Structure formats: C-alpha cells, structure tokens
A and B are shown apart, each in its own frame.
Chain A
Amino acid sequence: MEYSYFDEKLAASDMNRLWGVLRSNSTLTIGILLFILISMMAVMAPVISPHDPAEMYFEERLSPPSASFPLGTDQFGRCIFSRIVYGAQTSLFIAITSTLIVVPLGIVVGMYAGYFSRLDAFLMRLTDILLAFPSIVLSIAIVGVVGPSPTGVILSLSISGWAKYARIIRGSTLSLKNSGFVEASRALGGSEKYILFHHILPNSYGPIIEIATLGLGSKIIAISGLGFLGLGIQPPTPELGTILKDGLVFLQTAPMMALSAGGMIMLFALATNLIGSELRSITDPRSDTI
C-alpha cells in the first residue's frame, strides 16, 4: 500500500513511535508546536488578552507598545494585542468550520464517484470546473453577494473548497475498489457501506490530513484576504485582514498594527505549511520537501 508507512507510524497507538517520528523530524515538530501555540492563544483569548478588544481608550490612541498595551493601540485606542488574539480566534473558527464542511462533503462525493461510477462523469466535470477556476475569485463573488458575515465567508470557502478532496478520494477509491482485501471483504458479505467506510476511507486518511492541514492555512489567508478587501467579517468584530487594512494608513505612526496582524496570519500559514509539507514527505517520500 502506498500510504502504509504513514499508517504504521501514526495510526499505531504506540506513543513511542509517534515520539520517534517527532524527534527525528524537527520541521514537523516546529510546525506542530507553532500550530498548538497559536491555537491555544486563539482559544484562550478571553484569558490572555489584557483588555476587551472593543474597548476604546481615547486618550491612549496610537500609542506605542507598553506594559499595559503589549502591542500598542489602534486609531480608536483599542488594545492591538487583544484584537489580534480575538482576530485569530475568529479566523481559526471560520477556517475549522469550513474545513469540517468541506472534508466530509469531498469524501462522500469522491467515494460515491469512484465506487459507483453512476454520477462519476458529471461529478468530475464539476470538480474540473471548480479546480480550473481561481478559488479566491469565486469566493469574492460569492461572499460579496451573500453578504460579508461569518456565514457568508464560510459558504464562499465551502462552495469552492470540496473539489480537491473529492478528486483525491475518488482516485484512491478507484485504485482500491478492485484490490485484494476489498474483494475479500466483499466475498465475506461486507456491504458497500461497510467496505467504503472501513476499508477504503481509512486508506485515504494520509492525503486527507495532509490537504486539510495545508487547506487550513490557505483558508486563514483567504479569510483575511476577504477582510482586507472589505468583503470579509465586518467591524466591530476583530478580524486579522481588517486590522491589517486599517493599519496600512498608520504604517508610519503605528506600524505594529499592520505588522502584527500580518505576522499572525503568516505564522499560522507557516505552521500549517510546515506540517503539511512534512506529512507529504512522509506519505510520498519521493516528493520534494521544504
């Protein structure tokens, strides 16, 4: 099996093995640690942020970093650090939600197309169309029309996002459906549903996790891109792309505003890229690693 190495290494309940992979692969470890750190910051936002992200301290407007405002304040005197932390929470929530929509949808469509071949041609045409088109363009059109709310952003990311997963799953379903162990299971009376979810799906976990990780980063970038264009989540909700856009005007007076928002997005994408590319090199040893 193509992905057996990965399965052995990670699916085994043996913690020592997992520890071994992490110890021998420092890039993966750095990526995971970075990811955990940022996620913890986002989840613990109410605890670690020193101020309410919406609270305005008018006499402290555009002040430089200080003890009470770790990254200074913005044009309304709001604490930038608190806004960044809450902004990360918003982005992470939307990215994870849309991933949770897109992955099962892609899995079901891909397995259906690959296994039953009834709607295969039609479904694959559909993925062709979505993959041929730059997803950000589609997202902008959708979110602009549906309205710049969290729901609109999630919807716009989901409509264009499932095609990639469907493609991968279809491919592995096609190659697995006539393999020996699937035939054996069928001969033993395994139902189609049982075969799909107990034999075919587990063998596709490797690439799914890899794409989902990389996708999380690109979703964070897309969410803040929409915010930057004024089409994302609207103020007063703190959002990284919006903070970055507002900060552009004050680049010379309060550079921390734009730099810290951009830095946060970058660190998040960096974490997912490091994890994703290392997972790829584990699942496909011939690929070029970063």
Chain B
Amino acid sequence: MMRTILLNRLLQLIQVMVGISLITFTVISFSPGDPAEITLRATLGTESPPKEAVARLHEEMGLDDPWHVRYLKWASRVVHGDLGYSYQTKRSTIEEITHSLPITFCLASLSILFSASIAIPLGIATALRQNGLVDHLCRLSSVIFLSSPEFFVAMVFMLIGGVYLGVLPIAGAGGIKYFILPSLTLSVGLIAVTMRVMRTSMIETLEQDYIRTARAKGLSRRIVIQRHALKNALIPVLIYMGTQFGWIFGGAVTIESIFALPGLGRLLVNSVSSMDVMVVQGCMLTFAVIIVLINLFVDLAQLYLDPSIRSHGE
C-alpha cells in the first residue's frame, strides 16, 4: 500500500514537472521579445545593445534551435542540477529559490496554523448548535470571506493592523511579526471553507451508531463529543487542510507581492515582469515539486490517520 502510493506520487511528480515546464517553456518561446536582447539590455544598462553582441548571445543561448530542441537541452541541464542563472542578480536560479523558499514555507505554515485554530472551534460550535445565532453568523461571514479577493483582505488588514492600530509592520521581512498580517490574510479564505467542512464532518459523525451507543451506555454528551466524536470528525478536516496546502502556495504569490515578503511567489512575479526566463522556469518547477510532495504527505497522513484505508488496501 505504502509502496504503491510512493510509486504513484513519484510518477505524478515527473508528469507534473514535465507538463508544467513544457507549458511554460512553450509559452515563453512563442512570446514576443528576444531573450538575448532583454538580457543584454539589463546587463549592459543600455536601451539598444550592439547588434553583434545580441547575435553572439543569441547563438550562445541556442535561441536559433527549434523550441523542442531547446526544451530537451534545458531539461537535460535541469536533470544535471543546473537551472541557469538570473540575469538580473547574476546569481544562480537555485540560489534564488533556496533563499526565497523558507519564507514562503513559513508563511504557508503560519496560515495553516491560524486557519486550524480559528476554523476548527467555530466549525464544532456551529455543528453543535445548528441554525443558532453563531451558525448563521458563520455562514454569512463564510460566504463573504469566500468572495473577497485576498488583495482586498490584505488591504483591510493593512489598514487595521498597520495603520489604525500601528502595531504590526505592513511590509518587508524580518522577524516573525512581519509574517502575522500576511498569513492572517492568506488564512481568511481557508477559514471560510474549513469551518464548513468541520461543521459537516461533525454533524455526520454525531449521526453515527457508535455515538448513539456511547450515549446509550450513559456517557455524558460532553464526554462523547470530546472522546469519540471529535477525533473521528477531525480526520477529514485535517486531510482537507492538507490538500489545501498547495492552494496556499498559490495564494502566497499575491500576498507576498503585497506585503513585500521576498518569498517564492514574489520571486516569480518579479522574474515574470522582467522576463527573467530561467528564474520563471525554475520557480514553476519548484511549485510543481512542492505541490506533488504535499499531496504525497497528505496521502501518507491519511494512511496513518484512517486505519480503514490501511486495511482496505491489504
């Protein structure tokens, strides 16, 4: 069981990496603008670099080859651990990515933490008192939060936390406090959905036979909820949050740009707007790896948390 999952995910890793890099590569090679000229414009600092130099670099970068030849060349370099370099900073793409990855990771983990600690209690509360005041309020705020674009939420949080209260920094990177507003922003959408998932899961669990049995043998409602229902109801919620971890990385792209956090998302946006092609490719590949690894982790967690799946596979 464990082996099939690992094999499947490894296969998916290759597929997603090839697929995403192929899409990015194709789009880049059909885009207007000569990468050689763009690179020289930035390195020499002139608007019109000498024609000879452009032609030489054009040759060096192998831009005259058809795109599939270029893709294969690029892919073979990637396999050998060479992702090229950024023409802007002169650093290797790998260096750029390893610098930014921890920041995005920290942001994503903190927002998962915030979402779990807010959404799970609210979900339980609404499940225990269905159609109560809290339930209605949560339902309303859930649909509103779900409809708010993260950059708008970011703006509201900046206003409240940074400007009116003046307690939290609204831009830049430094200590943990620079992460609070961005990760709160990122968790808003996740809270809205997780809350509903928790509610549904709790309601379904409370309708199970073993809950009735536990009540029938005289345990109090409180004990039954704490010891029996909660543990079982939490499993799908935790797994749901795991699958959303990848979505969080997608959301981080916008959030990092707004709060000027030098993470992977900001690196992508910056390199896209300055046509730093190697870095764009590298970032996309990193995103692909992260997403598939998260999926693998969720699979294994599910196997560990839910014994019925384990026995089913054997």
Contacts and interface: CB of A to CB of B under 8 A. Distances in A.
Contact of A133 (B27, B28, B31, B291): B291
Contacts of B16: 128-129, 132-133
B147 A225 contact: no
Contacts of A146: 27, 31
Given A129-B19, A132-B291, A159-B23, A290 B32 contact: no
Contact of A134 (B143, B144, B250): B250
Given A144-B273, A266-B149, A288-B200, A258 B155 contact: yes
Interface of B: 12, 15-16, 19-20, 23-24, 27-28, 31-32, 139, 142-144, 146-152, 155, 158-159, 163, 196, 199-200, 246-247, 249-251, 253-254, 257-258, 265, 268-269, 272-273, 275, 280, 284, 287-288, 291-292, 295
Contact of A244 (B142, B155, B159): B155
B151 A145 contact: no
24 contacts: A126-B19, A128-B16, A134-B246, A134-B291, A136-B251, A137-B284, A138-B284, A141-B268, A141-B284, A142-B27, A145-B31, A147-B31, A225-B149, A231-B272, A244-B152, A245-B151, A251-B159, A251-B163, A262-B151, A262-B155, A266-B148, A269-B146, A269-B148, A290-B146
Given A129-B16, A229-B269, A273 B291 contact: no
Given A137-B268, A141-B284, A266-B152, A290 B31 contact: no
Interface in A132-160: 132-138, 140-142, 144-147, 159
Contacts of B269: 140, 144, 229, 231
Contacts of B151: 224-225, 228, 241, 244-245, 262
A252 interface: yes
Contact of A277 (B19, B143, B250, B257): B143
B273 A231 contact: yes
A228 B254 contact: yes
Q: Which 10 pairs between the two chains have the least Cβ-Cβ distance?
A: A134-B250, A144-B272, A129-B19, A262-B152, A269-B147, A270-B147, A145-B31, A221-B149, A290-B143, A288-B200
A136 B31 contact: no
B189 to A, nearest CB: 10
A118 interface: no
Contacts, number: 138
Contacts of B249: 134, 137
A129 B18 CA distance: 9
A133 B152 contact: no
A262 to B, nearest CB: 4
A266 to B, nearest CB: 5
Given A137-B287, A288-B199, 15 more contacts: A134-B246, A134-B249, A142-B24, A144-B280, A145-B27, A217-B147, A224-B149, A225-B254, A228-B258, A230-B273, A231-B273, A245-B151, A262-B149, A265-B149, A274-B143
Contacts of A140: 253, 268-269, 272
Question: What's the dominant secondary structure at chain A's contact region?
Answer: helix
What's the interface size class on A, roughly? 35 or more
B147 A266 contact: yes
Contacts of A252: 163
A193 interface: no
A224 to B, nearest CB: 6
B243 to A, nearest CB: 10
Contacts of A267: 147
Chain B CB within 10 A, most for which of A230, A248, A252: A248
A189 B219 CA distance: 65
A110 B178 CA distance: 45
A269 B15 contact: no
A134 B149 contact: no
Nearest to A220: B149
Nearest to A156: B27
A147 B247 CA distance: 25
Interface string A111-142: 00000000000000110111011111110111
